[in-house]
Structure 1
Amino acid sequence: MVTHVRAEAQGDERGALLSFLAEQRGGIRRALLGLTEEQAASKPSASDLSLSGLLKHVGEVEQGWVARAKGEPPAVHRDESTWQECFVLVEGESVEQQLAYWEKAAAETEAYVRSVPSLDDTFPLPNDPWFPPDERVSVRWLVLHLIRETARHAGHADIIRESLDGKTAFELVAQEQGSSWG
């Protein structure tokens, strides 16, 4: 769903990219509006995804990519043995806690993207088998990748939420704004 791109993004590539990323984050956040922890953790569709799991995943992914771009290790290291844990809340984790984590990661993303001298600056891709060896990507690639990743999961979130209670993205935007749809 397209809402609006902030006015300050006009004419500024960094601002435009960050605004599109923020717009996609909003889709996932809104999908969680008014849900209990149990509803957010439920898996009402054919997929094994839940809204709380998607939230955790996108927060970890965003933080991890920005950390790599800065030359730092991700806060949470995942491998084959722990990969599925990034899609489910574990003991002590809550939607509220994951939203706060993602908000912090989003602020770090914005600060980093605004601080680099050029969106053409590069950093090495992780040394994982699914990436070409010794490949570098730009900060622009990073933000576009985060937009793609977040948008993909925002679509999943739309389907999961509609499967839960019938609410569509349009209704959730209206709810967030304190109005009604239709």
Structure 2
Amino acid sequence: MVTHVSAEAQGDERGALLSFIEEQRGGIRRTLLGVTDEQAASRPSASELTLAGLLKHVAEVEQNWIARAKQEPPAIQRDQSNWHETFQLVGDETVAAQLAYWEEVAAETEKFIRSVPSLDDTFPLPPQPWFPPEGRVSMRWLCLNLIRELARHAGHADIVRESLDGKTAFELVDLERAS
């Protein structure tokens, strides 16, 4: 398992927040242990969600929030015409490539959160109807939002994986330790 936050760095607030983010990333990564790309792209439950799609989605969402906090354009632009692609592998995309991309995003997240002068620093929210007009949020909010987003989708991934082959989160932790 790749861990971006060292044990020594977890004692401060930033380290604690980054550790919780990494813990939720690990939950999603574990659901992909021992499955093929075909299995990861399959829909074994009533949901449209797949393990591969959840992986791609959380990586893109994390990258987009960090870009927004830096007040830069996101690397991947999504709108109504291509929103569905955030939840599925397209073209020659693979689980391995998405995991590698997410590792880069995770490293950038830690570097950025460690570099901001204060977790109280703010950035503008996107102009979406579910956010207040001209709203701003703190870097602390960003970290908490990432934890919430990742935890939500880690739960989805647990259900998809269990539907796929009956493996539960506890069994996947054991599988991760064995690998």
The answer to whether residue 42 in structure 2 is matched with residue 42 in structure 1 is yes
| Counterpart position of 2:61 | 61
Distance 2:73 2:94 in 1: 24
Task: Kindly indicate whether the alpha-carbon contact (under 8 Å) linking 2:10 and 2:19 is maintained by their aligned counterparts in 1.
Answer: no
Distance 1:106 1:7 in 2: 16
Unaligned 5+ residue runs, structure 2? none
Q: TM-score, normalised by structure 1?
A: 0.93
**Higher mean C-alpha deviation, range 87-96 or range 10-19:** 10-19
| Counterpart position of 1:159 | 159
- The residue type paired with residue 14 of structure 2 is R
| Counterpart position of 1:142 | 142
The answer to whether residue 14 in structure 2 is matched with residue 8 in structure 1 is no
The structural deviation recorded for 1:132 is 1.3
Unaligned 5+ residue runs, structure 1? none
The structural deviation recorded for 1:9 is 4.9
- The residue type paired with residue 103 of structure 2 is E
The structural deviation recorded for 1:128 is 2.2
The SS at the match of 1:177 is: helix
1:58-97 deviation digits (Å, cap 9, x = unpaired): 0000000000000101101111121111000001100011
| Counterpart position of 1:106 | 106
Q: How many residues align?
A: 175
RMSD: 1.4
The SS at the match of 1:29 is: helix
Q: TM-score, normalised by structure 2?
A: 0.94
The SS at the match of 2:161 is: helix
- The residue type paired with residue 91 of structure 2 is E
| Counterpart position of 1:19 | 19
- The residue type paired with residue 93 of structure 1 is E
1:123-168 deviation digits (Å, cap 9, x = unpaired): 0001223221110000000000000000000000001001111111
Identity, in percent, stands at 75
| Counterpart position of 2:75 | 75
Q: Which of structure 1's runs of 4+ aligned residues deviate more than 2 A?
A: 5-11
- The residue type paired with residue 157 of structure 2 is A
